Copies of this chain bind each other. A is one copy, B any other.
């Protein structure tokens, strides 16, 4: 009955949607997001994944490696979109590109069954083991700063760049408190808020929103 080599699971569970490696990632993501990293034992991850604790070490070097993979997988879509919006579409107005980026990021953060953004705010992530993630995050930050500066070219935009990213990522903490956010409505409100924060008037915001729709 088993369709691949290796000893079958003691639990009798078949493999999940993907393979055991993915089952472990899914289980760890759910637990790290809610309970935290150090509070989550490898045993509890294994239990949720339907395997024994030691099995995890056949697929990952350790607990850190699991978190790193989750972090990179979560930040990657944001960085890729930010890169695309910063370069290929540089002829489009900056306000539309920033609206599109903020909107997409908030959708990513508010959609899906897990609050994956919560991984970013785990204190353990400050460790050097996660330098590769920090590099990606810095890259994303730089894109936001560039776009904010381009929207408000008088120089105050650069100062407001951190506020812009802060507003976007505030949905992480918001979702932790109330888990029934309307992803679409929140994404609209935040993307509008980003431009409002930068001093755009309502007319310009409406135009940026329309232009953003054509970008993605």
Chain A residues near B (Cβ < 8 Å): 34-39, 118, 121-124, 126, 159-160, 162-163, 165-167, 169-171, 173-174, 176, 189-190, 193, 196-197, 199, 202
Shortest distance from the beta carbon of A197 to any chain B beta carbon, whole Å? 5
- The chain B residue with its CB closest to the CB of A141 is B177
What residue in chain B is nearest A120 (Cβ atoms)? Answer: B173
Given known contacts A34-B126, A123-B118, A199-B196, is B163 in contact with A167 (CB within 8 Å)?
yes
Closest to A176 in B: B126
Contacts of A196 in B (CB 8 A): 196-197, 199
Chain B residue numbers with a CB within 8 Å of A176 are 126
Residue of B nearest to A138 (CB): B177
Q: Are A173 and B121 in contact (CB under 8 A)?
A: yes
B189, A123: Cβ atoms under 8 Å?
no
Min CB–CB distance A117 → chain B (angstroms):
11
- Bound CA span A89–B190, Å: 30
A181 to chain B, nearest CB (A): 9
Task: Report the bound CA distance from A35 to B110 in whole Å.
Answer: 27
Chain B residues with Cβ under 8 A from A165's Cβ? Answer: 170
A8 to B171, CA, bound (A): 49
User: Closest 7 A-B residue pairs measured CB to CB?
Assistant: A166-B170, A36-B123, A38-B38, A38-B39, A121-B121, A193-B197, A170-B170
